[in-house]
Structures are given as C-alpha cells and as structure tokens.
Structure 1
C-alpha cells in the first residue's frame, strides 16, 4: 500500500523520461523514436517530444540516422555522484577519527555554479544554530565554504561569474560587493582557510578550507561552525587548525599532491 502511494506521487513526464533513458542505456543497438515508443509502450508523439527535449538538455544525442544514444550531461551527473560519494565517505571516517569540538558543527559541501550544496554533516548538540540539511544551498560569497572554493578560482573567473553583482545578502553582515569579496579571498589565499562571522547566519562563525582532487583543483569544502559568542581568539586558532587538518587529510585521500599532515 505504501509503495502504491509512493508511485502515485511520481511526476509522469519525469517517470517516462527515465524509462526512455533506461531503454537507451541497456539497448545493444541505437533505437529510433518508433522503436523507443514500442519498447516503452508509450505514444510515439510522447516519446518524440521527450527525446527532443532530452537532446536539447544534453541527456540524449540524436545520431545522423535518427537513432539515439546517451548524452554527455549524464556523465556529468555520474562524475558528481562519484565525487560526492567518495568525499562524503572519507569525511565521515575522518570525523570519527579526529576530535571535533563539541561546540562546533562539521559540514561538507560541494560547489555548484555559484552556490555551495551541503552533502554531509556532523552536527554538534541539538539546537546548534547552523543546521545543515543534505541538499541545502547557500550562495558561495556568503559562507566560509564558498569563499574557500572561490579562493582557488582565478580573479578573471570570479569577475566573470559575478559580472552582474552578488546575490541578495543573507544577513546584514553579508559581503556586499565583488571588490569586498576579493579582499576576503586574498586573505583566504594567504592563510589557507576562510572565516566569516554572521554572513550566512546571524550569530554563527564559520571557518572552512578547500578539499582538492588529484588535479589539485577544488572538489569540496569542509567547514566548522560555532556560536560567535564562543569564538574567542584561542578557540578560533584551535578551530582553524582543525579545519586545515581535515581539509588537508581529505585532499590527500582524494589524490591531491600534498602530504597527509600539516
């Protein structure tokens, strides 16, 4: 019964598109619209529309003989899945291995366009102000994790991405201009970690460092969050060292050309 209720909630167009993609994926030869319609038991007009849409989105490629094969957009999803799964697993293992301050919440996020998408977390005690849910998105300029990733981009790329200005601020403390963002990024490049106070959530101080892949390019960011009123100089020094150690060890496990220690 519960399974029937779940099936009733599916979006028909999405379900049909996935069915067509599954057929293309397992077929031993390239199929036409008519053949796909017959395999999926769907009207030819419906499959024709689905295929045209998926060609436009890069999910299918239409061959010269009017048959179809899987498109490059699916590889992008596959790579993202592998990347997120691997780094999330290593993040969990390291959080179990390393002592994390009880006052702090540890999170892992990956860049997507100009946002950071959170994919894993090790929360502090219940009621912590920074509650990162899987899939939660935050504009990169306003959160330490995003600044850590942006610090590995070229100045040209940053200006290109934010040619129309920054997104709407999240708090009164959020960075307000690209020039101000550059000032913060230069400091990140110097220290190796990003710090922001209340730019993402009022009353929360975040520290973050980038995780690099085998090409020494930014793959993700690890971040530690704590209540701002607890963030004195001594604690911030301890947290910054912890976040750098986490990022360094994760980068090493992802194949980056750095040692597994600071």
Structure 2
C-alpha cells in the first residue's frame, strides 16, 4: 500500500475522493429516491454532505455546528456522525469535535495504489513488442468478480472488446483464475458458494473442477481460459502476488483459439507475460509495505 506522506497531500486526495463520490452517489441517490421514497438513501445523501463539509474544515467541529451550518436536523447529524465514528470514517477529539477519520485515508491510499498500478501497466507494455498482437488486460478482484482496470485491445476478432470497468465472474476468466489460485481454501470457500451459469460449454460448473484448475495453476504458474468467457478466444493469465503471496491484480493476454494451438506462440506469449509481471513486481511490493 502506498503511504500518503503529508497532511496537504492527504486532504488533496480526500477531497478528490469525496468529490468523485459525491457526483456518483448523487446519481445513485436520484435514481433510488424515484424508485423508493421510503428508502434509506436520504441518509446516505446526508452522510456524503457531512463528509464533504468536514473535508473543507481546517479544524475539528462539533455536531451542533455541523447541524447548524448544514441546516440538518440535530438528531440526524448525531446519528450519522456516530455511525461513521464507529466505522472509522470520522474521528472525535477530547472536546467532542469531529474530523475525517483514518478510514478515509485507507480509501485514498487504495485509490492511489490502483491508479499507480494502471499507470505502470501502460508504461510497461510498451517494452514488450512481442505482446503487441494480443489483447492485454490488467484486472483486480471484487468479491467473486474480476474488474478490468486497464486494457490494450488488439485488432483480432476476439468477439469481445475489453473496456475499463467491465466485469465478469472470476472463475471464467484467466486473470480471475490466476488471482484466486493465490488464495487459501478458506479464502476461496465464500467466493464459490453460488456458482454462476457458464457462458460456454467449456465453462467450469462445479467446485471440484475449480479446485482442479487451482491446483494446476499453482503448479504451472499461469491460468488458462480455454474459451470459458468467449467461444473461440483463449486467454492466459498471471497473478501479481504481493510479498505475502496473495494477489490483488492479474495480467492476461488474449488471442484466437487457433493461435493457441501453436505451442511456440503460447510459449513466447507466456515468456513475455511473465517478464511483464516482473516489471510490475516492484509496484506490487511497494503497495504491500
């Protein structure tokens, strides 16, 4: 994890997060309020309003002042502040005054770390012309889903154009399989409780199949999506484990099925993909400090 070095940088990043969150959350709030007038979404809106207000303060402030300056009911402000206090989103000093909490900095660090990895990915792939013919992706795991953070699509007719933010069940993707292979059985179990229906006839359909794949990936050091995401497309994935051995990110290269039948092509691809992973290793290790 990247450590934020000073207060000025912290507030800058916090403000960036809250500004982004406020915009996205407002869209969500507007939609949900139309769908359900009795929902708890107004409380979320007030919480974001309070957080945004706290981020603009140069010193801690009392709940009463927050209520007065934002023209919000005292009871609502009190309840929201103490809920956020319990979760580390805000903190309170000895004078019962509130300020942003350490959880915000954790979110900021996570955002910076992710952005840093994306930047390093785009820089690093330029060093590997042998990977130019293939679609390259950088992914992360969110519960049982793989989310694509960065993509370099090739001109090959794969049937899928990968886009940032796109997500699929991890068990069907090369990066998802690779990342999951770094987990213990205990960490894997809750992610495999409700298996999704396969996309193709090669998709895994049982925990036993997944366990066999995990074992094979750990032995060979890479994962294969043999048309499980899209018929006619093969993907090779490599996990990017931190110094503790667990991966948050994964790399993949995608090509057409007929190309994957040429072992020389696959060997060259895997060699370059592993070298790309090595280029990104210092960034991973920095984040896990």
1:180 paired residue among 204, 209, 214: 209
- Whether the 8 Å CA contact 1:61–1:71 is kept in 2: the answer is yes
CA distance in 1, matches of 2:107, 2:282: 24
- Whether the 8 Å CA contact 1:23–1:39 is kept in 2: the answer is no
- Whether the 8 Å CA contact 1:130–1:225 is kept in 2: the answer is no
2:100 is aligned to 70
Q: Does 1:197 align with 2:231?
A: no
Which has the larger helix fraction? 2
The CA deviation at 1:43 is: 4.6
1:230 is aligned to 259
- Whether the 8 Å CA contact 1:107–1:118 is kept in 2: the answer is yes
Aligned-pair Cα RMSD in Å? 3.0
1:99 paired residue among 123, 129, 136: 129
Q: Write the mapping of 1:112-191 to structure 2, written as runs, cut at 5 A.
A: 112-125=142-155, 127-162=157-192, 164-191=193-220
Q: Does 1:86 align with 2:116?
A: yes
Residue-pair matches, total:
249
CA distance in 2, matches of 1:58, 1:94: 36
Q: TM-score, normalised by structure 1?
A: 0.80
1:260 is aligned to none
1:213 is aligned to 242
SS at match of 1:97: coil
User: Unaligned 5+ residue runs, structure 2?
Assistant: 1-22, 31-41
The CA deviation at 1:28 is: 4.4
- Whether the 8 Å CA contact 1:148–1:194 is kept in 2: the answer is yes
The CA deviation at 1:73 is: 4.2
User: Unaligned 5+ residue runs, structure 1?
Assistant: 1-5, 257-262
CA distance in 2, matches of 1:78, 1:50: 21
CA distance in 1, matches of 2:270, 2:160: 17
- Whether the 8 Å CA contact 1:105–1:130 is kept in 2: the answer is no
CA distance in 2, matches of 1:213, 1:176: 29
Q: Does 1:36 align with 2:28?
A: no
2:272 paired residue among 242, 245, 249: 242
Q: TM-score, normalised by structure 2?
A: 0.73
Indicate how the Cα distance of structure 1 residues 33 and 218 shifts in structure 2: closer, same or farther if over 3 A, else same: same
CA distance in 1, matches of 2:234, 2:103: 37
The answer to which structure, 1 or 2, has the higher relative contact order (CA under 8 A, 6+ apart) is 2
* Deviates further, 12-21 or 184-193: 12-21
The CA deviation at 1:155 is: 2.2
